[in-house]
Amino acid sequence: MIKQSVINSFKRVGIPWERLQAETEQVEVTNRFGGGSCVTSKLVSYLISWIYKTSNAYEMGDRSVTVSDFDRIRYYVLSVDSNAYYTCID
């Protein structure tokens, strides 16, 4: 069960979480700095890509996503798949 606060963040930033959560296929995600890879759900894979994209945009001056939404989504990844978080995010 996804907390309502996380769902609200997904909605604010446009993440299609319902569709992604329904998909049962596992996919491989890779650390963007070459720090390894792991297998995870489609939702977590999408969120990792979103985190990378949003982080890059923030570094370029795009502050359209609030820090609280960004952090909430990062910590959601940690709570549902710590291996993917530590492999790709941390």
pLDDT at 18: 96
Q: Quickly state the pLDDT bin for 76 (edges 50, 70, 90).
A: very high
Cα separation, 83 vs 37, whole angstroms: 10
| pLDDT tens-place string over residues 18-52 | 999 999 999 999 999 988 999 999 999 999 999 99
Q: CB–CB of 73/3 below 8 Å?
A: no
Q: How many CA atoms lie within 13 A of 72 on its CB side?
A: 18
Sign of CA dihedral 85, 17, 11, 7: negative
For residue 56 the two structure tokens come to 């890059």
Global confidence as pTM: 0.95
